[in-house]
Amino acid sequence: MILTEMAPAWIRICLILTLVSGGFLLSSRNLRNLVRTYQVQSFLLVLIALGLTALEQNMVLLLVAALTLISKVCGIPYCIGFIQKRMSLKQDLTFSYLRPPGALMLSILIILLVYICFARILESLYEANSLFFLGSVIGVSLVLMGLIAVCTRKMAISKVLGYLSMENGVLAFGLFVTELPFFIEFVVIIDLIILVLLTSIMTVGIDSSIEEYKDRMQEFHLWSEEGGIS
């Protein structure tokens, strides 16, 4: 019904919006709305998943959408927010190599480049103007924009967020392959949980100076007091 023929247009809009959220991720300075843009991006993915279920009537995608909703939209952002509160760091102002406007310009160039290259490589898909082709372009360029974020941000927490948006790019691309998405979703979730856990513990160490590091560690009662320096 109306949902099915409206679905492809719906999916294309959501894909473009994910690209926009990637752009936001690059430019926002405040850590709080960095997390918020990540939540928006994940939510858009959920919408794409729903659109795809409408298009191909495959119940697995529904399960994927639910999983993404739980983990990406609420779970991980809450965890990062919790760590940020403890670190009481609000601003991430220092950038290396590229300031946000430069980063945005570069990401537009990248999207164009990926589009041209993939068009030349996958002519058959390009003529068929298939969703898979669009998904692959959007996915890869989102991953690359995440990589720029990791590369230009100084703060480890913002690097982790850049990495998470790369994960979203992979997921966006994975959704368009019918049999694979659940597996991808399962994969991505496990990886994310472990990764975020580990890096957040470490980033606490990196971003704060060395003295607070000791008591901060104590606060998390993970390591005892006398860590001797060899």
Partner 1 sequence: MIAILYLILACVILLLQFIMRKHRSVSMLGVLHPVISLGITVYLIGTPAQWNASSFFLIDHLSLFIMLITSIIFAAAAIYAVGYIDGLVKSGDLERRSLRIFYFGFSLLLAVTTMAIFTPNIALFWICAELTTVLSALLIAILALRATIDASLKYIFICSTSMLFSFIGIIFLFEAVRNKTGAGSLEWTDIMRQAAGLETGMVWIAFVFFFIGFAAKSGIVPFHTWLPEAHAKAPSAVSAVLSGAILNIGMYGIIRMTGIMKDTAVFAQVSVLLLIFAMITMGVACLSMLRQKKLKPLIAFSSIENMGFILLGIGIGSPVSLFWVLFHMMGHSCIKAGLFFSAGILHRQYKLPTRTGEDEIGDLFLLQPFAAGTLMAGFAALMGMPLFPLFLSKVGILLSSTAISVWIPALVLVLFACAAVALIRFYLPIMAARFPSGEGPVPYTAPLSMKLPIVILLLLSLMIGTVMIPGEEAFLTAAVIDCGFGGQI
Partner 2 sequence: MSELFLFIVLLYALSGAIPLCIRKKRIWSLSLGILGGGGILLTLFPLQYLLYSHPVETLLWFQWVTFPIVIGIDRLSAAFCFLLGIISLAAALYSPGYLDRMHGSRRTFVVAGFIPLFLLSMLLVILSKTTIAFLAFWEIMAILSFFLVLTEFEEEKTRYAALFYLAMTQLSTVFVFLGILLLFVHTGSWAYPVALPLSDPYMAASFLCLFLGIAIKTGVIPFHKWLPHAHPAAPSPVSALMSGMMISTALYALFRVVTGFFVMDLVYGFLILAFGCLTAVLGVMYALKEQDIKSLLAYSSIDNTGIILVGTGLWAVFSAYGLSVPALMALIGAIFHTISHGFFKGLLFLTAGSVCQAAHTRNIDELGGILVRMPLTGGLFFIGVLSITSIPPFSGFVGEFLILQSLISGLSEPSPLLQIIIIVVLSLFSLTGSLTVTTFVKAFGLTFLALPRSEGATRSHEVPWPMYAGPGVLAIMSAVLGIFSNQILYHAGYRDLLPDFFVLFLVLLVTMVLVYAAVWSFASRKTRITRTWDCGMMAPSSRMEYTGSGFTEPVVRFFSGVYRTRIWSTRKFLDQNQCLFQSGTGGIHLMKFFEEYLYLPVARRIDLFAAAVSSLQNGNVDRYVLCVFCTVLLLILILGWSA
Interface positions with partner 2 (CB under 8 A)? 96-97, 110, 113-114, 116-118, 120-121, 123, 140, 144, 147-148, 150-152, 154
Give me the helices (H) in the chain, please: 2-27, 31-56, 59-68, 76-87, 100-121, 123-128, 131-152, 156-175, 181-207, 210-219
What count of other Cβ atoms lies within 10 Å of the Cβ of residue 78? 11
Q: In Å, what is the CA distance from 116 to each residue of 23, 110, 121?
A: 20, 10, 9
Tokens of 98: 């590229």
Question: In the structure encoding, which two tokens stand for residue 96, read together?
Answer: 């290396």
One residue of 62, 183, 218, 219 binding partner 1 per CB under 8 A: 183
203 lies in the binding site for partner 1 (CB under 8 A)? yes
Give ∠ CA 109-49-108 in degrees, rounded to 5: 5
Smallest distance from partner 2 to CB 156, Å: 9
Cβ-based nearer residue to partner 1, 1 or 179: 179
Which residue, chain included where needed, has tokens 């590229």? 98
Mark residues 70-109: x for contact with partner 1 by CB under 8 A, - for none: ----------------------------------------
208 counts as binding partner 1 under rule CB under 8 A: no
Whole-angstrom Cα distance, residue 12 to residue 19?
A: 11
Q: Is 211 in the site for partner 1 (CB under 8 A)?
A: no
Q: Does 163 bind partner 1 (CB under 8 A)?
A: yes
Which residues are at the interface with partner 1 (CB under 8 A)? 118, 121-124, 132, 136, 139-140, 143, 146-147, 150, 156, 159, 163, 166-167, 169-170, 173-174, 177, 179-180, 183-184, 187, 190-191, 194-195, 198-199, 202-203, 205-206, 210, 213, 217, 223-224, 226-230
